Chain A
Amino acid sequence: MSDLGLPASAEALRRIREDPHRLGHRAHGPQEPIQGAGHGVTGPAQKRIIVAYGFWIFLLSDIVMFACFFAAFAVQRGATAGGPGPQDVVEVPRVALQTAALLLSSYTCGLSFAATNARNKLWTQVFLLATGLLGLAFVAMEVQEFVSLASCGITPQRSGFLTAFFGLVGLHGLHVTVGGLWLLTMMAQLQVKGFRREIMHRLLCFNLFWHALDIVWIGIFTIVYLMGTVP
């Protein structure tokens, strides 16, 4: 069987089989109920599943909020009121650097969770710190972008398009900033309290949050910046 598939997919299949809950991977139809997964017949789910599940729902709601700002951007993209248009505000080299910093921070965030799973406090802290510094670099570049635009008179008060641009990009920047505050709190907590159950849950949620911000950024990068270079 296994020699028919690619090694990577065989590995993935093995992991799914070994995951006691196999969340999202269970076949349909009658089968053995899984203890603690909250599938109805076995009673309430474990705390870890409840926390992560609730946080997923929160992330979905957050993405709905971003969707509104994306929609506003799509509606107002042409509403430049005779002022600067998309090509005038996009500076690709800086955005490339920003994207690199944020994607790399997602990678270090994932590494931190691998270290968390191995209960290695030092490496968890190192990778969390790296994540925070990369996030800080991202926000710093964004602030610099906004300041340099403002110095050319390109502000949200100028036109509907600029309002939608600053609103969407700024909302993401605000999320990264708040995520950074959360990250600092988590690092302090981990240092003081170690790998307690609730700390593990929070680190899991933080990881989900940080990756979700990455996904939103990919949307912004594509729709605002890359498509902005095309007239």
Chain B
Amino acid sequence: MFGKLSWSAIPVSEPIPLITSIVLILVIVGVLGLVTVKGWWPYLWREWITSVDHKRIGIMYCLLGVVMLIRGFADAVMMRTQQAAAIGDAHGYLPPEHYNQIFSAHGTIMIFFAAMPLVIGFMNFVTPLQLGVRDVAFPTLNSVSFWLTASGALLVNISLFIGEFARTGWLPYPPLSQTTYSPGVGVDYYLWAIQISGVGTLMTGINFVTTVLKMRCPGMSYLRMPMFCWTTLAASLLIVAVFPILTATLAMLSLDRYFGWHYFTNTAGGNPMMFMNLIWAWGHPEVYILVLPAFGIFSEVFSTFSGKPLFGYRSMVAATLFICIVAMMTWLHHFFTMGSGPAVNTAFGISTSIIAVGTGVKIYNWIFTMYGGRVRFSVPMLWSLGFIFTFVIGGMTGVLLAVPPADFLVHNSMFLVAHFHNVIIGGVVFGLFAGLDYWFPKAFGFRLHEGWGKAAFWFTFFGFWITFMPLYILGLQGMTRRLQHINIEEWRPMLLLSVLGVAVIAAGVVCQVVMLVVSILKRDQLRDVTGDPWDGRSLEWATPSPAPFFNFAVMPNVEGEEAYWGIKLRAIDTQQLSPEPKYEPIEMPVRSPVGFYTAFFATVTGFALVWHIWWLAGLGLAAAFAGFVVFAWRDVHEYHVPVEEVARVDRARRAAREAVLARLAQQATPS
């Protein structure tokens, strides 16, 4: 009846997962109870859960990403402290099978359920606003994408309480991940969680390629698009090109595990090396899917806070697309040591070094954007400057690893661990924090507290260096990654230093939380009344804060690069706004529960497949098909926003801008 599922799946004998799960369940029950008592369900259901507004979906993606970021950070704390506590005769507090689950969960959660949702959240929130349009190409599909990602995240977290997670690392290399060596449900949890969220990501990619290429406001030609839109396009193209590879590879591994097929077995003609090639043909472009939108955020921030157009805009576009293409030609550098031979290794070593050229172009462009500008050191700018220092070091250790003979020495060592954290934290995470601070007022109507934001930056920045520099040294001294116990006493000081760094980062995390709370409490002082808090240059700053659900009362007509900057300069020059447009009713997509419905049955089906509850899996698929038919039968797809509502919102926006103009005029004429 319940397949492999029984009461023994609940880890009553392991205190750490048990206590964590009980606390988590209590928190979830508490939140749900609060929502019920306060009667917020109708509002949540109407305005968020069934929303197809790209801004709402973007915010929900970011919320999911931030929550999972904290979960992944908790895993990281456990790994660092375990290694520092298990040297020589000591054995730490995590048994090997639990430790292995933690490093697997840490990587899986950080990449798939923290970084990806945050990156996609920004793509969702920002891109349509910057393109001057009212929504993405497929709004309902967008909601389905989000809920499928949330479904995958839910499955990973269910594994904490019911059963176990994979012990194979964040990429389940066969033959270790085959049933012979991993008979439990851990790898199955991994497979179905990633399959479900991967489908969601693929649909996001399709949605955003179509949005950027086919949905831009009048006059927004390709070379007038803000840099972030270009990076969204490049990342989405990569998603469309490589996420099907992930789906195919994990499907093959599932066939091996569930039906005893021989794609990746090491018997009967199976080929484990094929898994390495396929998974990294997805995995390497994946890191560029994460980092390219972060590069887009940095481009916006450097330009805005230097008060200058982005230096070398066209070379930036070229570098982005260059990286987009070359990203798919470097995958083999993840396994130089697995016997591909000198010729192949050399070719991939060269392609890996070449891709650094594109990034180098970008770094110089950002530096030259600041040169001669009036630089303001606000929080987003601090993250961006911290990024340049950190990312350049990470990039250089990457070029070192790209040389095959050198890679043979430090491959799979702590040096590698330090390198990829150096680029992912320094590149992606810093970029996401910069973006959170930069676009927060556009989402919620008030800025984040500056002092706490700066404190968070400095703690995180120095904490990062204190944590990971010792790991570089340990790697060069020969310490391999994923050790549950360390035999060599001499490594103790560096491991302890690394734990100290984690404590400093934790202080940064606390500052971020305090920043959020303080900002909410002081929201009236921090209110952004103009809609343009940073003196921005692209179209999202032409809307009020928070942006109305229809984004633009009248679709903007773009007449040059830096669309909003041009409009703003003209208004300041002529001391008046452009004449009030003729308002018309706006057609907007209706909300839809189909995303939530799909994700519910995706979770049920995934859980059933993990535990071999076949009837439930069949039921879930049948319900999914029924949902598809019911959705297809929908007759009303759009509704009209009345012209009075449009005019009311836009006149308020114009009044705020006129007040700013009047203030500027007052300053210009000394009394």
A residues neighboring B (CB under 8 Å): 38, 40-45, 49-50, 53-54, 57-58, 60-62, 64-65, 68-69, 71-72, 75-76, 79-81, 156-164, 166-167, 181, 185, 189, 193, 198, 202
Given known A-B contacts A65-B247, A156-B261, A50 and B137 have beta carbons under 8 A apart: yes
List 7 A-B pairs, minimum CB-CB distance, nearest first.
A160-B269, A79-B269, A68-B248, A38-B214, A65-B244, A40-B221, A64-B244
A75-B274 in contact (CB<8A): yes
In the assembled complex, the CB of B540 is this many whole angstroms from the nearest CB of chain A, namely: 17
Closest to B138 in A: A54
In the assembled complex, the CB of A162 is this many whole angstroms from the nearest CB of chain B, namely: 8
B245-A57 in contact (CB<8A): no
Partner pick for B268 among A53, A81, A198, CB 8 A cutoff: A81
Q: Mark B207-247, 1 if CB is under 8 A from A, else 0.
A: 10110011111111110000000000000000011111101
A76-B269 in contact (CB<8A): yes
Partner pick for A181 among B245, B252, B625, CB 8 A cutoff: B625
Interface residues of B in 235-273 (CB under 8 A from A): 240-245, 247-249, 252, 255, 259-263, 265, 267-271
A72-B217 in contact (CB<8A): no
Given contacts A44-B215, A61-B240, 20 further A-B contacts (CB under 8 A): A38-B214, A41-B221, A43-B217, A43-B555, A44-B133, A50-B138, A57-B240, A60-B240, A64-B244, A65-B244, A69-B248, A72-B274, A156-B255, A157-B259, A157-B262, A159-B262, A160-B269, A164-B263, A181-B625, A202-B632
Which A residues are CB-close (under 8 A) to B270? 76, 79, 160, 163
A38-B215 in contact (CB<8A): yes
In the assembled complex, the CB of B298 is this many whole angstroms from the nearest CB of chain A, namely: 25
Partner pick for A72 among B216, B263, B555, CB 8 A cutoff: B263
Given known A-B contacts A61-B243, A72-B263, A49 and B214 have beta carbons under 8 A apart: yes
Given known A-B contacts A40-B222, A61-B240, A81-B269, A167 and B252 have beta carbons under 8 A apart: yes
- 19 cross-chain CB contacts under 8 A: A40-B221, A42-B218, A50-B138, A53-B137, A54-B206, A57-B205, A61-B202, A61-B243, A64-B244, A65-B244, A68-B252, A79-B270, A81-B268, A160-B270, A166-B261, A167-B252, A185-B632, A193-B635, A198-B637
B240-A40 in contact (CB<8A): no
Q: Mark B331-354, 1 if CB is under 8 A from A, else 0.
A: 000000000000000000000000
Instruction: Report the contact-size class of chain B (Cβ under 8 Å from the partner).
Output: 35 or more
A41-B219 in contact (CB<8A): yes
B residues neighboring A (CB under 8 Å): 133, 137-138, 202, 205-207, 209-210, 213-222, 240-245, 247-249, 252, 255, 259-263, 265, 267-271, 274, 278, 555, 625, 628-629, 632-633, 635, 637
Which A residues are CB-close (under 8 A) to B210? 50, 53-54, 57
A159-B269 in contact (CB<8A): yes
A57-B206 in contact (CB<8A): yes
Which A residues are CB-close (under 8 A) to B629? 185
